[in-house]
Structure 1
Amino acid sequence: MSVANILTNIKSKLIVSCQAPINSPLHDPLIIAAIAQASVNNGAAAVRIDTPAHVKAVRQQIPNIPIIGLWKQQIPGYEVYITPTLAATDALAQANADIIAIDATDRQRPNHETVTQLIEHIHTKLGKLVMADVDSIENAIAATQAGADIVATTLYGYTKQTQACNPPGWELLKQMVAKLDIPVICEGGIASPAMAQKALQLGAYAVVVGTAITGIDLKVKEFQAIFEG
Structure 2
Amino acid sequence: MMNNTLITNLKSGLIVSCQALKEEPLFGSEHMVSMALAAEEGGAVGIRANTPNDISAIKNRSSLPVIGLYKKHYSDSDVYITPTIQEVMEVVEAGADFVAIDCTRQKRPQGISLQQFIHQIRYRFPTTAIVADISTFEEGVAAMDLGLDVISTTMSGYTPYSKQQEEPDIDLVSRLSALHRTPVLAEGRISTPEQCVACLHAGAHAVVVGTAITRPQEITRRFVNAIHAGTQA
Distance in 1, Cα, partners of 2:209 & 2:166: 16
Q: Which residue of 2 aligns with 1:206?
A: 206
Tell me whether 202-211 or 170-179 shows the greater mean CA deviation.
170-179
Any runs of at least 4 consecutive aligned residues in structure 1 with deviations exceeding 4 A, and if so which? 224-229
Residue aligned with 2:12, SS: coil
Relative to structure 2, which stretch is displaced further, 216-225 or 175-184? 216-225
Read off the aligned partner of 2:88 and give its amino acid letter: T
Matches within 5 A, 1:45-64: 45-62=45-62, 64=63
Partner of 2:162: 162
TM normalised by structure 1 equals 0.93
Match of 2:114 in 1: 115
Q: How many residues align?
A: 227
Tell me, yes or no, if the aligned pair for 2:98 and 2:131 is still in contact at 8 Å: yes
CA gap of 1:180–1:79, structure 2 versus 1, over 3 A, is farther
- Tell me by how many angstroms 1:227 deviates: 5.6
Pairwise mapping of residues 75-114 of structure 1 onto structure 2 (< 5 A)?
A: 75-114=74-113
- Does structure 1 retain, via aligned residues, the 8 Å contact 2:76–2:110? no
**Residue 215 of structure 1, CA deviation:** 1.3
User: 2:195 maps to which residue?
Assistant: 195
> How far does residue 222 in structure 1 lie from its aligned partner after superposition?
3.3
Aligned residues: CA RMSD: 1.8
Q: What's the offset of the Cα at 1:78?
A: 1.6
- Residue identity in the other structure for 1:33: V
Corresponding residue for residue 40 of structure 2: 40
| Structure 1 residues 139-178: aligned runs within 5 Å | 139-162=139-162, 164-178=164-178
Deviation (angstroms), 1:167: 4.0
Indicate the residue corresponding to 1:128 in structure 2. 128
> How many Å apart are 1:4 and its aligned residue?
2.0
- Counterpart Cα distance in 1 of 2:224 and 2:74: 32
Kindly provide the amino acid, as one letter, of the partner of residue 12 in structure 2: S
Cα contact 1:122–1:129 (8 A) shared by 2: no
Say whether the 8 Å CA contact 1:115–1:143 is kept in structure 2.
no
| Residues 123, 129 of structure 1: 8 Å contact kept | no
TM-score (norm 2): 0.91
> What code does the residue aligned with 1:217 have?
Q
Q: Which residue of 2 aligns with 1:28?
A: 28
> Aligned with 1:179: secondary structure?
coil
Deviation of 1:217 after TM superposition, in Å, equals 2.1
SS in 2 for 1:37: helix
CA 1:227–1:30 in 2, change beyond 3 Å: closer, same or farther?
same
Q: Name the % identity.
A: 35
Name the amino acid aligned to 2:189.
Answer: G
Please give the alpha-carbon distance, in whole angstroms, between the structure 2 residues aligned to 1:85 and 1:180.
Answer: 29
Indicate if the aligned counterparts of 1:144 and 1:180 stay in contact, CA closer than 8 A: no
Q: Shift in Å at residue 224 of structure 1?
A: 4.2
Structure 1 Cα separation of the partners of residues 219 and 3 of structure 2: 35
CA drift of 1:180 comes to 4.8
Provide the residue aligned with 1:5 in structure 2: 5
1:135–1:159: 8 Å Cα contact kept in structure 2? yes
Q: Which is worse superposed, 124-133 or 201-210?
A: 124-133
